[in-house]
Structure 1
Amino acid sequence: MREETYSLRSAQPLTEAYIHRTDDRLEALYGYHAGAEEDWERRAKRLQQSSHVRAEAAEVAGVLRVYNERAGAAPEVFASISAIAEGALVVVGGQQAGLWTGPLLVIHKAVSIIGAAKSASEQLGQTVVPVFWIAGEDHDWDEANHAYVISAEQELRKLSVARPEGARTSVSRTKLTGEDWATLLAELEKALPSSEFKPVMLEELRQMSQRADSLSDFFAMLLGHLFGKHGLVLLDSDHESIRRLEAPMFQRIIQRNNELEKAYASSAAQIKELDYELQAEVTPGSANLFFFHADNGNERTLLHKKDGVFQDRRGHLSLTETELLQIAIDEPQQLSNNVLTRPLMQDYLFPVLATVLGPGEIAYWALTGEAFRTLGMEMPIIVPRMSYTLIEGTVAKHMGKYELTFADVMERFEERKADWLKEQDGLSIEEQFADARDAFEQLYKPLLALATSVQPSLSKLGDTNLQKIVEQINYMGSKTVDAFNKQFEASTRQLDRIHLSILPLGKPQERVLNMAAYWNRYSLNWLDSLLDAPYSRTGGHEIVYL
């Protein structure tokens, strides 16, 4: 295995400025920086002094132990949970559950969480536990319900499951049947090429499906299977036992909701003043909390404030602050965070040394700094997740054959492909047709001038006639080039395979492809390659050759 580094810039100027420290004004938004070693020491010390404002570590560990046991956790995970019970710091990051874990970036985030925790442990000389926060409370089914794999026919195949009938509730509360899992497994088996590892992989997935009631359940089991030996602790944010631990923080968020609203608005104004765009909506009157409406099939409904009352947009639901506080005490499972309050809840449950975030997340976390301070808390260190591109042996071989660098594929593939085909054209087809077209135009223009001199009205007809003939010459030239290129269909397929593997749908591999195809071909050795690749606290992109 070999690795290379490539600068894969995000589309978030705010994130880029934070990572590379090109704007010192951002310190007021983020506080700490992942690349400053002294900040890790300062954050650790701060956490040791603030344990009284968080949930009881032993209670959190008790809930985690039960949840991870159900997910089939490895012994190393329970060792991590025991460390949490004793007050160990954590590095946490998360993602919505996805089919077969979703796109590769989910795997990259887990790898980054493990890498950041290990790096911090070495620096601080104490156990730092990696924690993966499964955002099971999210209700965007279309984002969670599918996975892309490259099929045996070298085609991109989308595998998906339709949302079951019922209310628009969270992914964790959306139940799938044994028949659903059987269908999904059959589709996966059909899509993937045969391999020596395929039967074992499918059998392991079948066994998990027998214990999974939802995408979140299966997601947890898969992550546990992939990363359990590295001590990665799992948590589903929509688990009822977690909700009960969160009850005191929900009460604080409700009681100080107006202050928090002002805090988010203040941060938003500051970001705009710095000439950056907001990456999360800060809506006046929003409570930044969701409510699971039991009378409407547990539909997850965003709460807004109007005249001192919490309600949904349509006004069908109406709760006073006192009523909502009582719900937080008695039935906290009816409440759910949004993207702006989730960071606060995360920091209430755990002594979060650092949080691993993707580019978009880093940008919208800038909105939360003032909210942390409002509640007497502090934003943790923001760690950009690592990203990777996996390049298989056949793809690497073809890249060498066509003298393509990774940058060529990412930045100018179609141009390089066209150049290669043109280089094979010993007949100079395009050039010959261009010469013929130019020669014809030179012969025709005097005739057109002659016709116009005889009758001026023939000028327009002549121009039209010339254009049609030129179009036909171009058409014949194009057809001749296509016929010539058919001689290189095998090469074209190889070139297209390179592009499909590295830049599917014109996007970085990590945003599209699922890990199942790599597990199918390499067992879990491909995952070891990621875990063994260079790690940086400030993120980066590594090219990993399998």
Structure 2
Amino acid sequence: MEVDCIPFKETGYFSKLICDYLDQLESLKPFYSRFPSAENFKEQIKEKGGNYPAAHRKVLVEALKGQYKGFEVSESTQANITALEKENSFTIVTGHQLNLFTGPLYFLYKIVSTLNLAKQLNDLYPDNHFVPVYWMATEDHDFDEINYFNLHGKKIQWNRSASGAVGALSTEGLDAVFELLSPELGNTGNAEELKKLFKKAYLEHSTLTDATRYLANALFGKEGLVIVDGDDKALKKILIPYVEKDIIEHIPYKAVSESITKLSEVSSDYSIQVNPREINYFYLKDEIRERIVKKNGKFHVLNTEISFSAEELKDELHKYPERFSPNVIARPLYQEVILPNLCYIGGGGELAYWLELKSYFGEMGVTFPMLLLRNSVLVITKKQSEKLEKLNLKISHLFLKQHSFINKKIRDISNIDIDFSPQKKLLEEQFKDLYELAQQTDKSFLGAVKAQEVKQKKGLDALEKRLLKAQKRKLKDHVVRMTDIQNELFPNKSLQERQLNFSELYLEMGDALIPTLLDSLNPLSGDFTILKY
């Protein structure tokens, strides 16, 4: 296995905000606590250790024991759960939706980043213990985002109606998905292992939460991964005072809105990922997960007849905290309240909205975690590497948008010069004399000279484009082979990790897939990883 890398900002697939964060732009520093370098964890440990109540540890461990009932728990995962009761233990967390059969490949990369960072920190800080955690987004209700995955360019989809939190959904009907999946996988030994994994996860568990826990546990349990489900009454009981500050005092709305304004002042090119609401909680009951809104002095649950006075709502919250479900703004706070967490590992979009939250955490008195961009990976087979060599293509070329990629390579391989820059420079020199002449006569002549220069430059641009087009026709076979390999590695003109399901790599690599990722990915590298096998 060969490992190569490209700086994230050179890929063209990461926003200006994330690239500036990775460059530790001075004007962004007010929006995060510490940059995730190995040495910075020392102070993060000290701060979180002094701001995380010991009583939360006992509640957390008891909740986890309850959540794992009925599941096979590896020795390393059990040891990590037990360790969380000790004051020298801390977590490294990633989170993800309950995508069918893990969804896109980057699900694996998130968890591998988390496992590897915990391992590195256990080596660097032996007086402490670091636990890798996967937070399941069981309360999410965006079923259409999670009900499919792609395999061999085909969409394997779970078709059913759904409402409420996805974690509570019955797995009934997933046998039909298995019937679609099975022939697509084939009959190799690796294919049979995947079929067995799908059947055990989805056909032998009654809810999507349990199916996902089984799947993540089967893939990563022996590495000590701890899986947390936030949809838990005991854990939400800890959250009660923070829910009140949100619903009654609107603290997140004010703090996050101010942060968004300040971020926009740093750069108008930063796109705002999420906007806060006055109330950042849903009401969760049975198959309902609807927003809570305040209207005419009362708190209403949208699309229902349910409403509360302020006192009634507080009473409901204290009796049934499990019925209050955080949205995308409040969920990060919930995570950091119940876990002794040091670092959150996420994708570019996730980190973009976390950067809006620091002042909100400060208002709530909760330590803000370090933010680490997860490993991103492009996996290339030996056969694909050979194709690239024959076409004299560098990996970095493939990250270009296809139009730019083709134009660049046509220019590179043409036996004639398609760059008309020298002619344009010569034209500019010629017009200098005309401008000098124009200065000595009527101003209207100056305008005519300028118009003629623009016209002739446009003419050269048009000729350059026509020449490029002619060369594309002449080198059509080469263009086809170039675009074919780019389309293979960047399906749907997107990053491979956002399109492929892990099963596609598992069919080739089998049980070696996850150990290979664990051996190859460095979460603190700061680069996009290229793996050749």
TM-score, normalized by length of structure 2? 0.81
Equivalent residue, structure 2, for 1:20? 23
Equivalent in 194, 218, 226 of residue 225 of structure 1:
218
Percent identity (aligned): 23
Q: CA separation of 1:500/1:62 partners in 2, compared to 1, >3 Å: closer, same or farther?
A: farther
1: CA distance, partners of 2:258 / 2:384: 50
- 1:282 matched to 2:276: yes
In the TM superposition, what is the alpha-carbon distance from 1:493 to its structure 2 partner?
8.3
The corresponding residue for 2:284 is 292
Deviations 1:385-408 (A, max 9, x none): 111111122222222232222222
1:521 corresponds in structure 2 to 508
Report the AA paired with residue 256 of structure 2: Y
Describe the shift of the 1:529–1:333 C-alpha distance in structure 2 as closer, same or farther (beyond 3 A): same
Check the 8 A contact 1:157/1:191 in 2, yes or no. no
Distance in 2 separating the partners of 1:316 and 1:539: 50
Where 2:150 maps in the other structure, the secondary structure is: strand
Preserved CA contact (<8 Å) 2:299 2:310: yes
Aligned counterparts of 1:373 and 1:44: Cα–Cα separation in 2: 17
The whole-number CA distance in structure 2 between the counterparts of 1:12 and 1:424 is: 31
**Partner amino acid for 1:254?**
E
The structural deviation recorded for 1:312 is 3.7
Q: Is the CA contact 1:141–1:163 (under 8 Å) kept in the aligned structure 2?
A: no
Per-residue displacement from partner, 1:29-71 (whole Å, max 9, x unpaired)?
Answer: 1121113x4431111011222232x752122112212323544
Query: What is the CA–CA distance in structure 1 between the aligned matches of 2:168 and 2:55, rounded to whole Å?
Result: 25
The residue aligned with 1:407 is 396
Question: What is the letter of the counterpart of residue 521 of structure 1?
Answer: E
Give TM-score, length-normalised by structure 1: 0.79
Per the alignment, residue 260 of structure 1 pairs with 252
Q: Which residue of 2 aligns with 1:465?
A: none
Instruction: Summarize the Cα distance change of 1:195–1:396 in structure 2 as closer, same or farther, 3 Å threshold.
Output: farther
Partner SS, residue 356 of structure 1: strand
Q: What is the CA–CA distance in structure 1 between the aligned matches of 2:219 and 2:399, rounded to whole Å?
A: 29
Give the corresponding residue for 1:387. Answer: 376
Aligned partner of 2:167 in structure 1 is 172
Structure 1 residue 100, shift from structure 2 partner: 0.9
Q: 1:372 to 1:425 in 2, by over 3 A?
A: closer
Corresponding residue pairs, total: 472
Matches within 5 A, 1:132-151: 132-150=134-152
CA distance in 2, matches of 1:421, 1:14: 33
SS in 1 for 2:399: helix
Distance 1:394 1:49, change over 3 A: same
- How far 1:4 sits from its partner (Å)? 0.7
Q: Does 1:245 align with 2:232?
A: no
RMSD: 3.0
Instruction: Give the letter aligned to residue 212 of structure 2.
Output: F
CA contact (8 A) 1:93 1:110 kept: yes
Relative to structure 1, the CA distance from residue 301 to residue 539 in structure 2 (aligned partners, 3 Å threshold; closer, same or farther) is farther
User: 1:68 maps to what in 2?
Assistant: 68
Moved more, 208-217 or 367-376: 208-217
In 1, Cα distance between the equivalents of 2:308 and 2:383? 61
Gaps of at least 5 residues in structure 1 are: 151-155, 429-473
Identify the match of residue 202 of structure 1 among 190, 195, 204: 195
Q: Distance in 1 between matches of 2:167 and 2:274?
A: 23
- Structure 1 distance, partners of 2:261, 2:412, is 55
Once residues 501 and 384 of structure 2 are traced to their aligned partners in structure 1, the CA distance between those partners, rounded to angstroms, is 17
Query: Amino acid of the residue matched to residue 253 of structure 1?
Result: V
Q: Distance in 2 between matches of 1:521 and 1:493?
A: 26
For the 8 Å contact 2:104–2:498, the answer to whether it is kept is yes
Give distance in 2, aligned partners of 1:20 and 1:404: 28
Among residues 469, 494, 497, which one is paired with 1:510 in the alignment? Answer: 497
In the alignment, the residues of structure 2 paired with residue 71 and residue 405 of structure 1 have an alpha-carbon distance, to the nearest angstrom, of 46
User: How do 1:288-327 and structure 2 match up within 5 A?
Assistant: 288-294=280-286, 298-313=287-302, 316-327=305-316
String of CA shifts for 1:103-140, please: whole Å, max 9, x gaps. 01111110111122122222222210000001111110
Report what 2:419 is aligned to.
none
Q: Per-residue displacement from partner, 1:126-176 (whole Å, max 9, x unpaired)?
A: 2100000011111101110110111xxxxx111111133x5x211102212
Q: How is 1:142-161 mapped onto 2 (pairs within 5 angstroms)?
A: 142-150=144-152, 156-161=153-158
Compared CA separation, residues 129 and 317, structure 1 to 2 (3 A) = same
Describe the superposition over 1:465-500 as per-residue Cα deviations: whole angstroms up to 9, x where unpaired.
xxxxxxxxx9xx99xx79x97xx6xx9986565334
Q: Is the 8 A contact 1:55 1:348 kept in 2?
A: no
2:96 corresponds to: 95
* Partner residue in 2 for 1:350: 339
Check conservation: 2:8, 2:14, Cα contact below 8 A. Answer: no
| 1:363 has 2:352 as partner | yes
2:197 and 2:215 in contact (8 A); partners too: no
